[in-house]
Amino acid sequence: MDAISYQRAADIGSALSAAGQPGTMFIGGGTNLLDLMKGGVMRPVRLVDITHIDALDGITALPDGGLRLGALVRNSDAANHAWVRERYPLLSQALLSGASAQLRNMATVGGNLMQRTRCSYFYDPGFPQCNKRAPGSGCAAIDGMNRMHAILGASRQCIATNPSDMSVALAALDAVVRVTGPNGERTIPFAEFHRLPGDRPDLDTTLQAGELITSVDLPPPLFADHSKYLKVRDRASYAFALVSVAAALQMDGNTVKSARIALGGVAHKPWRANATEQALAGKSLDKSTLQTAAALAVQGAAPQRDNAFKIALAQRAIVRALQQAGGVA
């Protein structure tokens, strides 16, 4: 591990000033960044500790009935907060399905959004081919072991997947990410926060240089009564998703008024199943309707040698999650 300098920021202004220096990264809980530094995957020359900035902590109600999660709110605190459990159970379920209790006690909302892929080739500098780690070097996963990798939205440059459970729920809930940086404050719709790999897989998000996540804003709750986060994984705890589904419904009796569906484990970013949502509107949750709608979510899938099973698995998981969300399972 290389020598680094460390600075504790007292407020947002001092954090942004420090971030203007080349090679600087913000650190919160450190549950992902420190692992990557120890393995030699990421090599910042300066860390700015933001954990003592009170303005980034706390959960507050918004005037429109929504909720603001500060960037430093711990995952465990967010998952167990009464407002989150009652108004956004989908988010609570997703948070509690991620990592271990110890990690959730340290990991932050902002850090969760910024975590890197768990692709084994990215994590191991012993493999020289990784366009995320060394742009232009190639993608070892394409011809290697790719059971965990993307089936949607990938490119020849990268087939890694986003590992976050929280982000899948936030995508379904139409959250907004608030950031501040050298050019002031701005908001980023969640659908635009993470990137598909394209020809720049080294860029995971649309954050600009020196920008700091300050909060995640949730819109007024519409899906508290009918939502489900379903995570399919190799073991019941502390495992990343093969496929996950965040399903949220507004129901009018037995009819779907509106639907929100996002998938994890299948793409470089949380994958919003817009066609499936549209196909469900105005329909009842009978199995035939669900199967037809679920098939739309994987149209255009391009599996690799080891992960074609995800196409069928994703469809079955969508059907199951919608049945549970709608109370017909």
- Model pLDDT, residue 245: 99
Burial label for 268, CB within 10 Å (0-12, 13-18, 19+), is buried
Could you report the average pLDDT of every consecutive run of 10 residues in the chain (329 residues)? 88 96 96 96 97 98 98 98 98 96 97 98 97 97 98 98 98 98 97 98 97 98 98 93 98 97 98 98 98 98 98 98 94
Write out pLDDT tens, residues 278-325. Answer: 999 999 999 999 999 999 999 999 999 999 999 999 999 999 999 999
Dmax (CA) of the chain: 61
Write out pLDDT tens, residues 231-288. Answer: 999 998 889 999 999 999 999 999 999 999 999 999 999 999 999 999 999 999 999 9
Exposure string over 5-32, b if 16+ CB within 10 A, otherwise e: eeeebeebeebbebbeeeebbbbbbbbb
The 10 Å Cβ neighbour count of residue 273 is: 29
CA distances from 257 to 120, 131, 171, 226, 254 (A): 41, 43, 19, 11, 9
Are the CB atoms for 173 and 219 separated by under 8 Å? yes
pTM of the model: 0.98
Residues 35 and 176: their CA atoms lie apart, in Å, by 28
Domains in the chain, start-ordered, CATH in brackets? 1-51 (3.30.43.10), 227-326 (3.30.390.50)
State the SS3 of the chain. Answer: CCCCEEEECCCHHHHHHHHCCCCEEEECCCCCHHHHHHCCCCCCCEEEECCCCHHHCCEEECCCCCEEEECCCEHHHHHHCHHHHHHCHHHHHHHHCCCCHHHHCCCEHHHHHHCCCCCHHHHCCCCCCECCCCCCCCEHHHHCCCCCCCCCCCECCECCCCCCCHHHHHHHCCCEEEEEECCEEEEEEHHHCECCCCCCCCCCECCCCCCEEEEEEECCCCCCCCEEEEEECCCCCCCCCCEEEEEEEEEECCEEEEEEEEEECCCCCCEECHHHHHHHCCCECCHHHHHHHHHHHCCCCCCCCCCCHHHHHHHHHHHHHHHHHHCCC
- Model pLDDT, residue 1: 56
- Model pLDDT, residue 2: 73
